[in-house]
Structure 1
Amino acid sequence: MKEKRFGIDIDGTVTCPASLVPFINEAFSLNITLQDITKYDLAEALNISPDKMRIWFDATEPDIYSSSPLAEGAAAILSKWQQQFHLLFISARRRHLLEITETWFQEKKITYDHLELIGSHNKIEAAKRNKVDIFFEDKHDNAVMLAEELRIPVILFNTPYNQDPIPENVIRVDDWYEADACVQQWIKTNEITPLPAYKKA
């Protein structure tokens, strides 16, 4: 019987964080890598006007989402977890992108118990409503707010744009295999030990 309820972000967490880099390079005649995106705000990170970035993103969003590759290990670990836990995907994507999102999950063969596009980065109410026990996120501010407001552990997938300090119950991981190691420890002991305890040999 499934007991624990996992809240899971999609972009930069289930999808590869570098998914939008080729689109950025093509649109703005750049030659960047993910390492060059050191802030979550793309306009600020790339010194592009916010209006220009917003117009581009609104137009390109469906293509980015429909073609995003999975993050390393996501398929294997989520498939494993599906047998044991409730998987509740809670994303800041806007609701008109639901069909594209559902199709992507079907194509990637990722099953879930709940999928919610809230159209906002504030995931606290959705996480409360869905009685989430642990959350998986890539946005630093979201991770900190969820951990502090809900007093739950949050797994933060390490990226160049989320390197600000984190509280004790936010744990950084480099991939889904490390996330799974954290989860297994949490299930056994009700605690999560910060890295580097889970670093792969």
Structure 2
Amino acid sequence: MKPEKFLTIGIDIDGTVTSPSSIVPLMNESFGRDLRYEDCLEYNLANVYQITDEEFDNWLAQNGERLYDEAPVHGIADQVLRNWYPLHKLIYISAREAHHHDVTLNWFARYQIPYHEVDLVGSHDKLAAAQKWGVDLFLEDRLENALQLSEALQIPVFLFDTPYNQARLPELVHRVTSWEEVDHKIKTLSLGQARV
């Protein structure tokens, strides 16, 4: 008999399971720039690259498939997620569009990253999906999402440290620098200790 899952973990994909720097080389190639990941001090890359939101949306529509196919894994995310899978319910909630479902699942298969559900919501507003799946905590790289989810749902959010999400954080949002660190914090939660 399989053990009951301990936690339902909401997990962003881009910049969380995939390396947060993976979009920069592709954008440099397309826009003839030589920016570094460290130069991306805000989440809105249209501002960073000094292009319009429409130009960025058009670029993503043309290059999204390649971006999602070629993105490297963020650190040891694949190993950690394989270890969590028998213990926790893994729900990936991403702003990716639904038509990127196949490339997303193929990428997960290539890196042997397990999942219970993959919900591509097509928007940065992940609140309804997080409520639908009843997540106990969330892993994210976008500051605005972390703030919204932690406040609305009163759940812990682990925010992966990036140049574009620097700010003072409320009590429920915990900055983490690696998958090793978030793994340790989840183990602490799983043991029933109140503090993260």
TM-score range relative to shorter protein: over 0.9
Q: Which amino acid aligns with 1:46?
A: Y
Residue of structure 1 in register with 2:31 after alignment: 28
User: What is the aligned residue count?
Assistant: 193
8 Å Cα contact 1:182-1:192 kept in structure 2: no
Residue of structure 2 in register with 1:96 after alignment: 99
Q: TM-score, normalization: structure 2? A: 0.95
Residues in 2 aligned to 1:52 and 1:120: alpha-carbon distance in whole angstroms = 17
Report the more deviating stretch, 182-191 or 30-39: 182-191
Residue of structure 1 in register with 2:150 after alignment: 147
Residue of structure 2 in register with 1:73 after alignment: 76
The residue matched to 2:182 in structure 1 has which SS?
A: helix
8 Å Cα contact 2:18-2:71 kept in structure 1: yes
What does 1:43-192 align with in structure 2 at a 5 Å threshold?
A: 43-192=46-195
Report the more deviating stretch, 181-190 or 65-74: 181-190
Report the more deviating stretch, 83-92 or 181-190: 181-190
Q: TM-score, normalization: structure 1? A: 0.93
8 Å Cα contact 1:155-1:179 kept in structure 2: yes
Residues in 1 aligned to 2:195 and 2:188: alpha-carbon distance in whole angstroms = 6
Residue of structure 2 in register with 1:199 after alignment: none
**How many Å apart are 1:124 and its aligned residue?**
0.9
The residue matched to 1:161 in structure 2 has which SS?
A: helix
**How many Å apart are 1:192 and its aligned residue?**
3.8
Residue of structure 2 in register with 1:13 after alignment: 16
Residues in 2 aligned to 1:103 and 1:192: alpha-carbon distance in whole angstroms = 37
**How many Å apart are 1:188 and its aligned residue?**
2.3
8 Å Cα contact 2:138-2:158 kept in structure 1: yes
Q: Give structure 2 stretches of 5+ with no counterpart.
A: none
The CA deviation string for residues 14-67 of structure 1, in whole angstroms up to 9 with x for no partner, is 000011111011111111111011111011122222222221121111100011
Residues in 1 aligned to 2:129 and 2:67: alpha-carbon distance in whole angstroms = 24
Residues in 2 aligned to 1:68 and 1:150: alpha-carbon distance in whole angstroms = 30
**How many Å apart are 1:79 and its aligned residue?**
0.8
**How many Å apart are 1:108 and its aligned residue?**
0.9
